[in-house]
Amino acid sequence: MPSGGCFALFLVDGFFSNIMSFSIEEFVHCPTLEKLDQCMKADLLLTANFFDISVPLNACKVEIKSCLLQKLVERGIVKMTKPPLRLFVTYHRDIIM
């Protein structure tokens, strides 16, 4: 089982600030739309790799997230209850097209 996580540091007012961190272990233990919505592109690719889901590597983050979300929902890993608006719009736009 692959392990690891991505960690983002941003320079804010001269100090490095941990804006967002992602742990694949935490996501696997409790997969939620909120956690998926907070992912950076590298996190999404890590998640896709962990669940053996093919995603377009050269696509933009939104396209990768949409593809990953669709597969996670199809497999029953993530439930579509009340998705964050960004995921909802992206996911449903791709279904309609």
Within a domain: 53: yes
Residue 68 to residue 64: CA distance in whole angstroms = 6
Q: Which residues contact 50 (CB under 8 A, 6 or more apart)?
A: 1, 2, 24, 28
Q: Which domain holds residue 40?
A: 27-96
Return the DSSP state at 34.
H
pLDDT at 13 over 90: no
Within a domain: 36: yes
Within a domain: 15: no
Within a domain: 64: yes
Compare 3 and 25 and report the one with higher pLDDT.
25
Compare 72 and 7 and report the one with higher pLDDT.
72
Within a domain: 80: yes
87: confidence class by pLDDT, cuts 50, 70, 90: low
Q: Quick one: average pLDDT of 5-11?
A: 44
Contact by Cβ (8 Å): 86, 37: yes
Within a domain: 13: no
* Residues 14-69: tens digit of each pLDDT: 444 445 578 899 999 999 888 888 899 999 999 999 999 999 888 999 999 999 99
Within a domain: 18: no
Count of structural domains, the chain: 1
Within a domain: 16: no
80: confidence class by pLDDT, cuts 50, 70, 90: confident
DSSP, collapsed to helix, strand or coil, labels residue 12 as strand
